[in-house]
Amino acid sequence: MATDVTKLSAVESIKEASRFLRGTIGEEIQEPVDHFGKDNIQLLKFHGTYQQDDRDARGKGSGGKAYSMMLRCRIPGGILSSDQFIAHLDLCDTLGNATMKLTTRQTIQLHGILKDNLKPTIARINEIGLSTLAACGDVNRNVMCCPAKRTDRVHAQMQQLCYDIAIAMAPRTKAYHELWLTDDQGEKTLVGGAPERDAEEPLYGTTYLPRKFKMAMALPEDNCVDLYTNDIGLLAIVREAEVIGYNVIVGGGMGTTPSAQKTQPLLGKRMAFVTPEQVIDVCKAILMVQRDHGNREDRKIARMKYLVENWGIEKFRQHVEQYYGSPLADCTEDDVYGFDDHMGWQEQGDGLWSYGLNIENGRIYDNDRRQFKTALRAVCAEFNPEIRLTSHQSMIFCDIRPDDRDRLIAILREHSVPVSEEFSEIRRWSMACVALPTCGLAITESERALPGIIDRLEAPLSKLGLDRDQFTLRMTGCPNGCARPYNSDLGIVGKAKGKYTLFAGGALLGNRLSYIYKDMVPHDVLHDEIVAIFAAFKVNRLEGETLGGFCARVGRDQLESLAAAAPKP
């Protein structure tokens, strides 16, 4: 590690002293208090969990903070069985807050888990063949991949490589097994072995990475995982129905701190072409360059995107080649040009079908209006489909026989679950992060606010004749950007209590950053500002131009003038 040890951030010191992520978590689990101490809160992220405070419930009961844990699973490529999915529903009912969240990175989050229930929840997830290790923390997190089930070799190759990368780049510490998968005396291991207590981390070392690390794999015609927003993006290059290699894209990331001008969202840069046999070792080399040269003094600028931006892509590539041990080829001309969200019915190629069910903002629940959980249990019980999670917080049922298609839709309708065909385009392509009340970073509402905003936008869009246009609208409760608002056509980002920054000019393809259109917009004015943008787009668009492309072409100042002048519906 190149950084002077005297200048390390506080989190670096916590990792260094943690004995490969053990800390004093084991002791704190046994203590009769409802929360963990600040050092262990940092280490628990590596184990897949965040400590949270429900601000809606704060002050009730004991009168203090309402502590609970959010637990995130690691599901490479978003692929899991019906039994694994149902097990998560069981956990959210018995140990969580009775709802489940499908995330923007093809995995599942359980909320409202009390400290005393954390160990049995993690143990159960491992019993069903999944894990929470490295779902969070300063390590390579859940690896994303196009979730479509197809019989062609291309998708099979990509999805297998996605799984292989997840295994190859996972932490090796046995602290996870010791803490969560043994009895209180540490005698019974539920999953895997338990070699020597202080096993080393051959890839990560004692302090792991300077910051979180994300990877995704996509096809040029289907960038459904937002390739350019990841630390490493792998674009599959296909020739004659065979993956011959991958264009490697490095240095993407969404998070920013508005008060710190040194921070910014950045899209990845094209670095090199690698063969399938080279992929894992090159990815390890990239990770090691970030491990050894990333900023460990200031976590605000510790993501690999800043290293790539500061060095430039050529210098960064040279370091990767040194770690890898040989020169790399240049990228092919291939780049992203399409996006399939895989919603609705799609043929798999084997006589069976998949059905993509759009789940607004990824929240799965039962209430007196809609019974998502009950419907999904019924579908899984009757058809036992393989489940695929998407990067747009939705899910795909796979392996449905043609004769069962009507029955699957009937089950959903019987439980008042809206089917994908009933969604407006703006709602279908929207996303929101969790935000309030549980996320500790949230400044404003997001998941609970976006549906209402869209309710007020659907009629004006229809009157303007834009209701069939496809564009992305994404909302987050803080600038950390978990729902990827900075490369969407329109983005809404929480800035202060009840106020947002409105972004414009990104792209559904995810390959263009947006700009700040207006700052500190009150929540009750967002609808009017967005409708004005739609009106300007309707009057001034070029033939075939997208909403984001129009906003990018005219720029902020002209967009404001055009929006003010355009007749409103």
pLDDT at 183: 73
pLDDT at 196: 39
* DSSP label of 393: S
**CB-CB contact of 426 with 454 (8 Å):** yes
Say if 289 falls within a structural domain: yes
- Supply the CATH number for residue 348's domain: 3.90.480.10
* Tens digit of each residue's pLDDT, the chain (569 residues): 444 445 899 999 999 999 999 999 999 999 999 999 999 999 999 999 999 999 988 877 666 899 999 999 999 999 999 999 999 999 999 999 999 999 999 999 999 999 999 999 999 999 999 999 999 999 999 999 999 999 999 999 999 999 999 999 999 999 999 999 987 544 443 333 333 334 579 999 999 999 999 999 999 999 999 999 999 999 999 999 999 999 999 999 999 998 899 999 999 999 999 999 999 999 999 999 999 999 999 999 999 999 999 999 999 999 999 999 999 999 999 999 999 999 999 999 999 999 999 999 999 999 999 999 999 999 999 999 999 999 999 999 999 999 999 999 999 999 999 999 999 999 999 999 999 999 999 999 999 999 999 999 999 999 999 999 999 999 999 999 999 999 999 999 999 999 999 999 999 999 999 999 999 999 999 999 999 999 999 999 999 999 999 999 999 999 999 999 999 99
pLDDT at 61: 60
Listing DSSP states for 87-146 in one string gives: HHHHHHHHTS-S-EEE-TTS-EEEEEE-HHHHHHHHHHHHHTT-B-TTSSSSSB-PPEE-
What CA–CA distance (Å, rounded) separates 68 from 52?
5
What CA–CA distance (Å, rounded) separates 331 from 473?
31
- Same domain for 180 and 305: yes
Q: Which residues are catalytic?
A: 72, 141, 212, 214, 433, 439, 478, 482
Say if 91 falls within a structural domain: no
Q: How far is CA 341 from the centre of its chain?
A: 15
- Same domain for 358 and 289: no
Last residue of a domain, one of 400, 425, 450: 425
Q: How many domains does the chain have?
A: 3
* 3 state DSSP class of 179: helix
pLDDT at 62: 60
- Same domain for 440 and 412: no
Say if 131 falls within a structural domain: no
Range of the domain at 392: 344-425
Say if 117 falls within a structural domain: no
- Same domain for 544 and 442: yes
Say if 26 falls within a structural domain: no
pLDDT at 199: 54
- Same domain for 376 and 238: no
- Same domain for 350 and 310: no
What CA–CA distance (Å, rounded) separates 102 from 203?
30
- Same domain for 351 and 327: no
Last residue of a domain, one of 425, 453, 480: 425
Say if 12 falls within a structural domain: no
- Same domain for 474 and 421: no
**562: Cβ–Cβ under 8 A, 6 or more apart, which residues?**
536, 539, 540, 554
Last residue of a domain, one of 362, 392, 425: 425
- Same domain for 164 and 307: yes
**CB-CB contact of 189 with 197 (8 Å):** no
Beta bridge partners of 131: 74
pLDDT at 198: 42
Q: How far is CA 281 from the centre of its chain?
A: 24
- Supply the CATH number for residue 559's domain: 3.30.413.10
Other C-beta atoms within 10 Å of 167: how many? 10
Say if 398 falls within a structural domain: yes
- Same domain for 555 and 455: yes
pLDDT at 191: 37
Say if 35 falls within a structural domain: no
- Same domain for 526 and 492: yes
- Same domain for 271 and 257: yes
pTM: 0.95
